[in-house]
């Protein structure tokens, strides 16, 4: 397979690598593995003879060098530089930024200007879109790390999420606090949920902590693009960031 119009989109998560081939309109091929390693990353990308590669990876990135600065759920990737490792043309971003990019162009956030994304998988990640502009990176490229908000007893949202996985009701209560914080800070039109562990919050509890009466009914919806959203968003780095 060798076509300049095709793009490889890669989603490197805490528990899987998902790779798709994007033709500009749809996914035409894919490759997955549940063993996240540098060897499998290279193997999956090399499986497709396509020069353009977009990568979404969990963690804080140095956008100048392409190095992964901090990745709590992928510790062996810290310090790893995507540009040096791969000989192909590579563009990259945080995985949830890629997720939101895809949802804003093709999915649940398509009709909205101000949106947040929250991904729940091994941990909790986030992303911010303001006035339909490309996702907000912040001053150091680390904006959107929602999972590291302190929620209760000095524990982060991500830590509490991981501790309550066996108790859906407790998890919904924790999510109510997390989402209420996000709505009070960003006042989005919509929050899009993704990831294998995505769950809605306890609505009544969430509303209790939201300041604006108008914001209490903020839309919280699931991804329309399902588990390929991040990989599609990574491929879109080649079409949206020319």
Indicate if the pLDDT at residue 38 is higher than 90. no
7-94+227-240 against 99-224: fold identical: yes
Convert the pLDDT of each residue in 39-86 to its tens digit: 998 899 989 989 899 999 988 999 888 889 998 888 888 888 877 766
Range 135-166 burial, b when 16+ CB lie within 10 A, else e:
bebeeebebbbbbbbebeeeebbbbbbbebee
Strands 60-62 and 219-222: unpaired
Q: In angstroms, rounded to a whole number, what is the distance separating the alpha carbons of residues 92 and 82?
A: 8
DSSP letters spanning 22-67: E-SSSEEEEEEESS--HHHHHHHHHHS--SEEEEEESSEEETTTTE
Q: In angstroms, rounded to a whole number, what is the distance separating the alpha carbons of residues 52 and 237?
A: 10
Three-state secondary-structure class, residue 21: strand
Q: 134 burial class (0-12, 13-18, 19+ CB within 10 angstroms)?
A: middle
CATH code that applies to domain 7-94+227-240: 3.30.420.40
The residue ranking higher by pLDDT, 46 or 234, is: 234
99-224: CATH topology: Nucleotidyltransferase; domain 5 (3.30.420)
Q: Two tokens at 147?
A: 């999972």
The residue ranking higher by pLDDT, 60 or 2, is: 60
| Structure confidence at residue 242 as a pLDDT band (50, 70, 90) | very low
Convert the pLDDT of each residue in 110-165 to its tens digit: 999 999 999 999 899 999 999 999 899 999 999 999 999 999 999 999 999 999 99
Residue 52's DSSP bridge partners are 89
Find the distance separating the first CA and the last CA of the chain, reported in whole Å. 23
Convert the pLDDT of each residue in 157-184 to its tens digit: 999 999 999 999 999 999 999 999 999 9
Instruction: State mean pLDDT over 230-240.
Output: 94
Q: In angstroms, rounded to a whole number, what is the distance separating the alpha carbons of residues 231 and 236?
A: 9
- Give me the pLDDT at residue 119, please: 96
- Give me the pLDDT at residue 206, please: 98
Taking the domains of the chain in order of start, what are their residue ranges? 7-94+227-240, 99-224
């Amino acid at each position: 397979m060798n076509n300049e119009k095709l793009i490889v989109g890669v989603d490197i998560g805490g528990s899987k690598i998902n790779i798709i081939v994007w033709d500009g309109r749809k996914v035409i091929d894919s490759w997955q593995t549940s063993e996240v390693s540098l060897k499998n990353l290279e193997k999956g990308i090399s499986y497709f003879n396509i020069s353009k590669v977009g990568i979404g990876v969990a963690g804080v990135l140095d956008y100048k060098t392409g190095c992964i600065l901090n990745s709590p759920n992928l510790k062996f990737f810290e310090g790893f530089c995507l540009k040096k490792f791969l000989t192909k043309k590579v563009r990259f971003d945080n995985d949830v930024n890629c997720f939101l990019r895809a949802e804003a162009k093709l999915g649940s956030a398509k009709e909205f200007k101000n949106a947040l994304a929250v991904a729940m998988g091994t941990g909790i990640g986030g992303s911010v879109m303001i006035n339909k502009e490309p996702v907000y990176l912040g001053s150091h490229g680390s904006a959107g790390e929602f999972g590291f908000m302190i929620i209760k007893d000095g524990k982060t949202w991500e830590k509490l999420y991981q501790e309550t996985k066996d108790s859906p009701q407790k998890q919904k209560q924790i999510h109510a606090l997390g989402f209420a914080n996000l709505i009070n800070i960003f006042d989005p039109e919509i929050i899009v949920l993704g990831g294998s562990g995505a769950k809605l919050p306890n609505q009544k509890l969430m509303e209790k902590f939201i300041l604006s009466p108008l914001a209490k009914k903020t839309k919280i919806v699931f991804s329309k693009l399902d588990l390929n959203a991040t990989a599609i968003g990574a491929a879109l780095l080649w079409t949206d960031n020319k």
